[in-house]
Each structure stands twice: as C-alpha cells, then as structure tokens.
Chains A and B, each alone.
Chain A
Amino acid sequence: MSIAITPELVRKHGLTEDEYARIEQILGRAPNYTELGVFSVMWSEHCSYKNTRLQLKKFPTTGPNVLVKAGEENAGVIDVGDGWAIAFKMESHNHPSAVEPFNGAATGVGGIIRDIFTMGARPVFLLDSLRFGRIEGGAAAARNRALLRGVVSGISHYGNCVGVPTIGGEVYFDEAYEGNPLVNVLCLGVLRHDQIARGAASGVGNPVYYVGSETGRDGLAGAAFASRDLTEASKEDRPAVQVGDPFKEKLLLEACLELLASGAVAGIQDMGAAGLTCSTCETASRGGTGVEIDLALVPKREPGMTAYETLLSESQERMLIIVKQGHEEAVTRVFEKWDLPYACIGRVTDDGQMRVREHGEIVVEIPAAKLADDAPVYEREERAIPAEPVLDLASIPAVDPEEALRLLLADPTIASKNWIYRQYDHTVRAGTVVPPGSDAAVFYVREADKFLAATSDCNGLYCRLDPREGAKIAVAEACRNLVCSGAAPLALTDNLNFGNPYRPENFWQLREAVDGLAEACREFGVPVTGGNVSLYNENPAGTIDPTPTVGVVGIIDNPAWITQQRFRHAGDAVLALGDLGFELGGSQYLKVVHGRKAGCPPRLDYKRERALHRVVRDAIRAGLLQSAHDCSEGGLAVALAECGFGDEVRLGATLRLDGTGLRADQLLFNEDQSRVVVSTRPEEASRVLRLAEQAGVPARKLGQVGGPTLVVHADGKAYRWDMEQAFDLWYGAIGRAMATR
C-alpha cells in the first residue's frame, strides 16, 4: 500500500506544517502513511498534552509519601503505611459521552480501572464527577435527561459488573453543560510497595505480549480520521465511540494481577488512547529501549485490517505485557485459565526504535523516545476576561427565605443524588463505611487495614466568575470535606475540563485555574498524583464553564474518628465554625432563585481555612463531634437542612442567628468559605468553642437539635421549615425531574 503524503493529508491528520517538518527531521525522511497516523495520534492533544504540558509542570508532585510521581507512570502511587500504598487517578470521557452516553461513560470507567491495575494495584473504589445541562422542564430538557440516564446506566453497567464499588462523587446541572456533559471518573487501587508495576520495556530480548480482547476497527475516528476511502474493501463507517465489555475487563483485571503476582512481568501498559501505538512507544521510551512487533501476530476481530487501522484502533480491554524471558509459560497458564486471547507479538530491542512489521515487512520505524516525548509544546495566547463587578445588594430583590430554601433544596444540583447512586453498586467489596450522600465517602480496605476517605469537587460557576479563585476553592472544599469525615488529606488528582485552547479567553481560564490549583495544593500539602486534561468542551451556545475537577483522598488512622454530616441526637448543640459571611456573588441562591450567574465568587483565605481544619480535626480526635458538615452550595441554610436529613429519621433544630444586621437571604444563603456546621453533646459545646478560640476561628453556638421543624431566628423573625416536607423536596427532586416526559 502506498498513499502519497500530501499537505492535505497532513492537515487532515491534525498536524501543522511545523509539526510535519519536525517529523521529517526526526525520521530523516518523509513518513509513510501509517507513520503519519502514528505521529498524529501521539502528538494529538489527548496523548501529548502539547498545549497544557507547560501548565501541568506547575503542580507539586513530590512529598514524603509519594512513591511514584505523576507522569512517571500511568498513575502516581502514595504510601499509606505498613508497606501498603494507593494508586489513584481521574480521567474524563466527555466527548464520547456526549455522542453515545451509555458506551461513552462505560468505556470511561473501563479506561481508568485499567490505568490503576496497570500499576499492579487492585482497584477498590470509583468516584464519578458529572456535569449535565438542566434536567427539569419539558421537551427542551429531554436530551439532558437522556444524557443523564445514559451516562448513569453506562457507569452502572461497567463498574457494577467489574465489581468495583462507586462510592461517591458529585453532580452539577447547569445550562453551560448543555450538549457537552462532563464525565470524570476516579479510580483508586491498593497495592503493597513491592507490587508496584512499571510501564517500561526493560530487558533486551524480552518477549512482548498482547493480552485481552481482539483488536477491531472501533475508535479509529478520534485523532485519526475515518479509514473508509483508504482500505481496499472499505467497510461502512464505524462509530467513533468504542463499545466496552466489562466482563472482559474483569477477566483481564484478574489475569493481569495473577500474572504480576507470579513474577513473570518486566513491564505492563494498558492500551488506551492510541492503543497499540501508544503502549509500544511509551514502554520503549520509559525503558530506554526499542520495541519490535509484528502486526500479523495481533489477535484481530475481523480480517483485512490495515497496519494503520491495527495500530490506531482503540478497542477496549487490551494490555501490552513485557514478559521476562523464560517465563512465557506463566502467560500461557494464566491467560488459558481466564480464557483470554494472548499472543507474543514481538521483542524488546536495544536500538531505541519502535519498529512495526507486518508479515515481516517493516511498516513503521520511528525512534520511540522522540515519538513519545518530543511532541511539540506550546504556550498559547491568552486574554483575560474582565472580573465580575461586586454585586449591588439592592439589585437583588428580597424574597421569602422559606420559599427560597425550598427552591434550593429541590434544585437538582443541591438535591439528593440517590436516583443516581442507587444505580451504582456501592457496597460490593464489603468495605463501604460511609456510603454516597455524605461530605466524603469512607472505605475500609480490609486487606491493608486502612480507612480511606475520598471526595471530588469543583464549582464551575465560581470558576466561570473567577477561574483562579474557583480552582483554589475546589481544593479547599475537597480537603474540608475530608477533614469533616475525620480524615487527613493525602494527595490529589485533577481533571481539567476546558474549552478550545486556541481561543485566548479559554486559555486564560485554563492557566488561571492551574495556577490556583497548584498554589492551593502547596498550601494544603497535597501532591498531585496525576490526572487528565479535556479541552474543546464546546457546544453551540459557547464554552462550558471552566471545570477543574479535583479528587482528593485522605486517610483515617482511627475508625473512631469517622464522622458523618447528619445530626445524631435530639438535644445536641449546633455550632457554626467560621464566619457567618454575607457576600452572595456566585451563589446557588442567586442562580436558582434569581436566575443570575453573577457577582464575585467567595474568596479563599488559606490561613483561615487551615485553622478551621485544625479545629475540626482536633475536635474529632478528642471525640467531641457528633456530626460535621461543610457549608457549600446553598450556604448555611442548606447545610443545616442537610444535617437533619437522615435516611430513616429527620431531625429539625432550633437556631438563633439574631443581631447580625444582615438581610435574611444574605445570612442564610451566602457561600462564604471555611465554614463547618457541627453538632456536639450539649455539655461538650464549650470545649469545642474553646478549641476554636485557641485557633483563632470564629465560632458560635446556634442552638440545638430536635423536633420535626427547622427553625431559624434571624433579623427579628422566625423562619420555619417542616423537615419531612423539606426532605421530600430534596430527596425526590431528581427522580421527579427524570419522570417528566
């Protein structure tokens, strides 16, 4: 096959003239058609991070507990003590999910699970961070409902079958995500220090194995365009979205962990984006070696596939394994046991080349390290978006606070997500101590005897109004959630969801958010274990709200410290730790009740935030707190209501917030940062207040838990909410919206 390399073909591969010149320079000749395809996927934004690499370097990636740094391998590895470690990372599948929500989301789960067991870790839980357009209303919202339904059932289908519990996450609904939902999935795995597997092709002469599902023509239309007019017997267009098979994934997971345990493996790498291409050149690059494979030996789903198609296919549930010479029999034994396809397709070489043959004939020959690591790197042009003016309170008409809280509780962003998480198996592996629905999920890793807490966060509205501050708050809130659950934050993974980076305003948002994230990670002492970048999140109405999602994992050294957000006993004292705040900019109240996405979002003060964490941590460790819940979307009022929403029993409270001089809506619904609502035994309230005073954290006793009503005395009036009614609004909101036709 010989296809002429024309400027048109180069352009269709998404490569610039400069990039093409660089390819010719690397090869010392013009690339052939297959090589052009290989470069185009490896140098795509998705694989090379060419527009964001300089930004990602800003993240702190080291720390005393970091065993494997972000970027070195598929996921960073963090020490959790006693010889045990965790590997975790978040990844997006936004575009596939927009086109085909079920399979897009399902394969997103599959991809991140493979990233984790590639490290030698057994995946133990998942979190999902999702964004959709509005789901309430008539036919206009029907597409968003279909997307939500499809994504949730895709995650459920895949994660449930593999047997990895989905224990938490967050979901926001906003018109900014109309037609471009965000599907970010975090997977965490556990392993012993000596089980860390490397994605390097080490040991010249070692055989290279292909294991897992056969390669088909699916997923070719991503970075590489459709192959229709390029094959002899051209087939109909294949969907760009791959189809996942969670059963195969489960087999692959068990087989790989079993093979790793046998000691036969020198290196292992999953085939994700850019499939066979990416896994061969990356393993060779990491190993400082070369890899030579023959495509004729690759198990295939259909005959007649070209070298181009085989190399660029993104078929799911496949791995590349470098086996130690002399241990080939272990591969046969394990993969026969699990009834999975496997084949020796090549060898590790010493010449640094990624050499691909087809029936012996060389079809690709590229220096592996240059292909994997020498992609161009760009600093894009940026243009600042002017800051929002501070809100004029007079422009916000006063409304009935009782009705406003009901509206907020029934808003899908704030409402209970039970309609979603009851479709996820969140109890498999028998370790879920705090199930979805609290500030952070808590999971007991029985084999390691470790209690882990995990949460994900990002308020896209704040980031839209101020990307730097919004990103800082995402980190702060995630850490605050963990502290409220009794955990000490360990490390963070991020998923940067932004628009087209060639638009200077979008790049400015990205750069601002990265600066904010990096700074906040340093301030809270949480290294970044890796993550993912998803750009080009656009819809006909414009760019999505910038959404730098973070997932943070913490450890709880003593199970007695595990704390939940719900009030536990009538008669307990309710305390507010932190300022009462007053600024309504960027609040859900403004958005939901007044229809405005406006104002200056809350500011984060690191010193205040860290002091608050210390007080909550010390109070929990001293056994003083019955519950702890951070104030976030919807402010103090939503936090107080949620504290009373037990699954089986609702608990009201009577609280006094008189004499503040604030308007009731300001007091109840502002989203000032660094605030937590706690409850304590009445006799212990003063000890908590003393701890706060010593740390310089403002604190006050608001009242006590009890009764069927939430009563708040403020500005000389008493506001009341029937807790059963409020609970029903909050608990059933998403289910009711989803039932509309």
Chain B
Amino acid sequence: MKIAIIQFPGSNCDQDCLRAFCDGIKAPAAYVWHKEASLSGYDAVVLPGGFSYGDYLRCGAIARFSPIMKAVVTSAGDGMPVLGVCNGFQILCEAGLLPGALIRNRDLTFVCQPVYLRLENNGTPFTHLGRPGQILKMPVAHGEGAYFAEPDALTRLNEKGQVIFRYVDRNGTASAAANPNGSLENIAGICNQHRNVLGMMPHPDRAWDDLLGSSDGRLLFASLVETFAAR
C-alpha cells in the first residue's frame, strides 16, 4: 500500500504528515503535487493542513479547483480512504465530499492549544483500532475551525454515526469550556456516509511521538495501515 500526501502550494503540514507515516509508523507515503491529475499507484490520500492557496478568500475555496482534486473526488467515490486534517478538512467540505462548513472561530482569533477528543465511532478505516468513548489528546491550530451545518444535516450526521470526534474535557464531557472554537455540538471530525472520507480539525500529524506531548494521533495512521494489511 502507498499513501499520497497532497501538496498544495501553501500546505505547511505536508512534511509533518509524511513524517507521521514514514517515521511514525514506518508506512510508505509520498508527496503528490497539486498540479498532478492522477492518483494511480496510491491506496489512500491525506490532505494536509496549511493555507492551500493563501486562503485569502475562504479556506479551501480555491484548492478544490486544483487538478488533483478531481482525482481525489473520483477516488473517494470509488471508496479510497481520504483523510483531511485542518485545512484538508476545509477543502473536503468545499469540495462537497463532506457536509457542512468550517467557519471563523467563536473568539475571532486563531487558536493553538492541546485538546481532548472523544472517539464517537470507530467504524472507519482511520479509527477502527480505537474504541468508542476513547479519549485522545492532540493539538488544534486554526482560525476557521468552527464546524457548522444546517439542523437537518446535523441530525443526519448524528443518526448515521458520521460524527467521529467531539471536543471534550479530560473526563470525556463535551462541555462548552472544552470547545476551542465554537463548533456545533463540539464536533471536531466527521466522515461521509460511506465512511471512507474523514475530515478533522485537530492534528494527529502533530501527536505521534511522546516527545510532542502525545502520541494519540498514531491511532489514525496505524488504523489506516492495518486496513490495508487486513485486505
């Protein structure tokens, strides 16, 4: 198996994602430039964080028009696992692969801090090694990370088990104080109906080594690799 890390010109977590796979769990991963049009030879895709095209318009709004995104949308439709972290999550929403949108943080400022997440559903290629209710710690770092969706879309997400992570406190309670950005229902990450596309604001790519204060992010990368090992 081989994982594609998409490089938009303003990606700045591409190197972190590559290292998370290559150094963190010794899995093969490589960069794919945004001007490429094909994902052939790859089995999974990661859209890393950053400011894809400067994001002066709206985060991810321009990235979705880049040549590689056509291939990402097609591959996602064919069932290829796709993970979008931070700006990657924003791009997935802009591209229509995930419902809802990420809007300006509640406090109107960028927020960088460690957060606790509760794993709500382990039925995805990125979370199957975890157990529901498990608490994970990793950092967030974004200015536009408040998850928003219309009420009926939100109801559907909940009914179909598409909410994968919520912001919680250390004890696992989804309190207002534990919500760093004002996301609806403390939502930190969601997946599509087919469960192969996952978007999340927190950074597993910055939490895969105890030196960094947490290695809980390894769960996502290891789950993905395990998915293919089992096939």
Whether a CB of chain B sits under 8 angstroms from the CB of A161 is: yes
> Does B203 contact A427, Cβ atoms closer than 8 Å?
yes
Stretch of A77-85, A242-250, A536-544 that contacts chain B: A242-250
The answer, among B49, B112, B203, B205, for a CB contact under 8 Å with A422, is B112
Name the interface residues of A156-204: CB closer than 8 Å to any CB of B.
Answer: 156, 160-163
Q: List residues of chain A with CB within 8 A of the CB of B170.
A: 648
Q: List residues of chain B with CB within 8 A of the CB of A424.
A: 110, 112
Q: List residues of chain A with CB within 8 A of the CB of B104.
A: none
Stretch of A91-99, A209-217, A428-436 that contacts chain B: A428-436
Known: A427-B203, A430-B209. A161 touches B10 (CB 8 A): yes
Digit string of B16-59 for contact with A (CB within 8 Å is 1, else 0)? 10011001000000000101000000000000011101111000
> Does A423 contact B212, Cβ atoms closer than 8 Å?
no
> Does A245 contact B206, Cβ atoms closer than 8 Å?
no
The answer, among B10, B13, B212, for a CB contact under 8 Å with A432, is B212
Whether a CB of chain A sits under 8 angstroms from the CB of B79 is: no
Q: List residues of chain B with CB within 8 A of the CB of A161.
A: 10, 12, 51, 54-55
> Does A251 contact B9, Cβ atoms closer than 8 Å?
yes
Complex CA distance for A421 and B12, rounded to whole angstroms: 19
- A265 CB, nearest partner CB in chain B, Å: 21
> Does A430 contact B54, Cβ atoms closer than 8 Å?
no
Whether a CB of chain A sits under 8 angstroms from the CB of B111 is: yes
Complex CA distance for A176 and B55, rounded to whole angstroms: 38
Complex CA distance for A162 and B109, rounded to whole angstroms: 17
Q: List residues of chain B with CB within 8 A of the CB of A444.
A: 211
> Does A427 contact B54, Cβ atoms closer than 8 Å?
no
> Does B110 contact A250, Cβ atoms closer than 8 Å?
no
> Does B53 contact A247, Cβ atoms closer than 8 Å?
yes
Complex CA distance for A197 and B22, rounded to whole angstroms: 29
> Does B211 contact A427, Cβ atoms closer than 8 Å?
no
Whether a CB of chain B sits under 8 angstroms from the CB of A347 is: no
Whether a CB of chain B sits under 8 angstroms from the CB of A425 is: yes
> Does B51 contact A247, Cβ atoms closer than 8 Å?
yes
Complex CA distance for A435 and B206, rounded to whole angstroms: 13
Digit string of A290-307 for contact with B (CB within 8 Å is 1, else 0)? 000000000000000000
Complex CA distance for A446 and B22, rounded to whole angstroms: 12
Bin the interface of chain A by size: 20 to 34
- A105 CB, nearest partner CB in chain B, Å: 14
Whether a CB of chain B sits under 8 angstroms from the CB of A559 is: yes
> Does B56 contact A247, Cβ atoms closer than 8 Å?
yes
Digit string of A237-270 for contact with B (CB within 8 Å is 1, else 0)? 0000000011110110010000000000000000
Known: A163-B50, A422-B113. A428 touches B10 (CB 8 A): no
Whether a CB of chain A sits under 8 angstroms from the CB of B15 is: yes
Q: Which residue of A is nearest B113, CB measured?
A: A422
> Does A446 contact B12, Cβ atoms closer than 8 Å?
no
Known: A247-B51, A648-B170. A429 touches B15 (CB 8 A): yes
Give the A-B contact count at a CB cut-off of 8 A: 89
Q: Which residue of A is nearest B49, CB measured?
A: A428
- B5 CB, nearest partner CB in chain A, Å: 14
The answer, among A245, A250, A428, A446, for a CB contact under 8 Å with B19, is A446
Whether a CB of chain A sits under 8 angstroms from the CB of B139 is: yes
Known: A250-B51, A427-B206, A433-B212. A339 touches B12 (CB 8 A): no
Q: Which residue of B is nearest A338, CB measured?
A: B9
- A617 CB, nearest partner CB in chain B, Å: 21
Q: Kindly name the residue among A427, A435, A648 whose own CB sees the greatest number of chain B CB atoms within 10 A.
A: A427
Q: Which residue of B is nearest A647, CB measured?
A: B114
Whether a CB of chain A sits under 8 angstroms from the CB of B76 is: no
Whether a CB of chain B sits under 8 angstroms from the CB of A61 is: no
- A339 CB, nearest partner CB in chain B, Å: 7
Complex CA distance for A160 and B205, rounded to whole angstroms: 16
- A485 CB, nearest partner CB in chain B, Å: 14
- A561 CB, nearest partner CB in chain B, Å: 13
Complex CA distance for A248 and B9, rounded to whole angstroms: 10
> Does B16 contact A428, Cβ atoms closer than 8 Å?
yes
Q: List residues of chain A with CB within 8 A of the CB of B141.
A: 160, 425-428
> Does A427 contact B139, Cβ atoms closer than 8 Å?
yes
> Does B54 contact A423, Cβ atoms closer than 8 Å?
no
> Does B111 contact A250, Cβ atoms closer than 8 Å?
no
Name the interface residues of A421-466: CB closer than 8 Å to any CB of B.
Answer: 421-433, 435, 444, 446
Complex CA distance for A156 and B15, rounded to whole angstroms: 20
> Does A423 contact B112, Cβ atoms closer than 8 Å?
yes
- A211 CB, nearest partner CB in chain B, Å: 15
Whether a CB of chain B sits under 8 angstroms from the CB of A497 is: no
Known: A246-B54, A428-B206. A163 touches B12 (CB 8 A): yes
Q: Which residue of A is nearest B111, CB measured?
A: A422
Complex CA distance for A135 and B32, rounded to whole angstroms: 47
Q: List residues of chain A with CB within 8 A of the CB of B110.
A: 153, 156, 160, 422-425
Q: List residues of chain B with CB within 8 A of the CB of A430.
A: 16, 19-20, 205-206, 208-209, 212
- A634 CB, nearest partner CB in chain B, Å: 25
Complex CA distance for A551 and B141, rounded to whole angstroms: 25
Q: List residues of chain A with CB within 8 A of the CB of B205.
A: 430
Complex CA distance for A245 and B53, rounded to whole angstroms: 11
Known: A161-B51, A162-B12, A425-B112. A446 touches B23 (CB 8 A): yes
Q: Which residue of B is nearest A432, CB measured?
A: B212
Q: Which residue of B is nearest A339, CB measured?
A: B9
Q: List residues of chain B with CB within 8 A of the CB of A338.
A: 9
Complex CA distance for A250 and B55, rounded to whole angstroms: 13
Complex CA distance for A153 and B111, rounded to whole angstroms: 11
The answer, among B20, B51, B111, B203, for a CB contact under 8 Å with A246, is B51
Q: Which residue of A is nearest B54, CB measured?
A: A247
Complex CA distance for A692 and B56, rounded to whole angstroms: 56
> Does A428 contact B13, Cβ atoms closer than 8 Å?
yes
Q: List residues of chain B with CB within 8 A of the CB of A250.
A: 9-10, 12, 51
Digit string of B113-133 for contact with A (CB within 8 Å is 1, else 0)? 100000000000000000000
Q: List residues of chain B with CB within 8 A of the CB of A435.
A: 213
- A156 CB, nearest partner CB in chain B, Å: 5
Q: List residues of chain A with CB within 8 A of the CB of B109.
A: 153, 156, 422-423
Q: List residues of chain A with CB within 8 A of the CB of B209.
A: 430
Name the interface residues of B72-116: CB closer than 8 Å to any CB of A.
Answer: 109-113
Complex CA distance for A156 and B143, rounded to whole angstroms: 10
Q: Which residue of A is nearest B208, CB measured?
A: A430
Complex CA distance for A254 and B7, rounded to whole angstroms: 12
Complex CA distance for A444 and B113, rounded to whole angstroms: 18
Q: Which residue of A is nearest B108, CB measured?
A: A153
Q: Which residue of A is nearest B15, CB measured?
A: A429
User: Could you jot down 26 A-B contacts, CB within 8 Å?
Assistant: A153-B110, A160-B143, A161-B55, A163-B12, A163-B13, A247-B9, A247-B55, A250-B10, A251-B10, A339-B9, A422-B112, A423-B109, A423-B110, A425-B112, A425-B141, A428-B13, A428-B141, A428-B206, A430-B19, A430-B20, A430-B205, A430-B212, A433-B211, A435-B213, A444-B211, A446-B19
B→A interface (CB under 8 Å)? 9-10, 12-13, 15-16, 19-20, 23, 33, 35, 49-51, 53-56, 109-113, 139, 141, 143, 170, 203, 205-206, 208-209, 211-213
Supplied contacts A426-B112, A559-B211, 17 more A-B pairs, CB within 8 Å: A156-B109, A156-B110, A160-B141, A161-B12, A246-B51, A247-B10, A247-B54, A250-B10, A254-B9, A423-B111, A427-B206, A428-B141, A428-B206, A429-B16, A430-B19, A432-B212, A446-B19
Q: Closest 9 CB pairs between A and B?
A: A163-B12, A247-B54, A430-B16, A427-B139, A425-B141, A161-B51, A430-B206, A427-B206, A423-B110
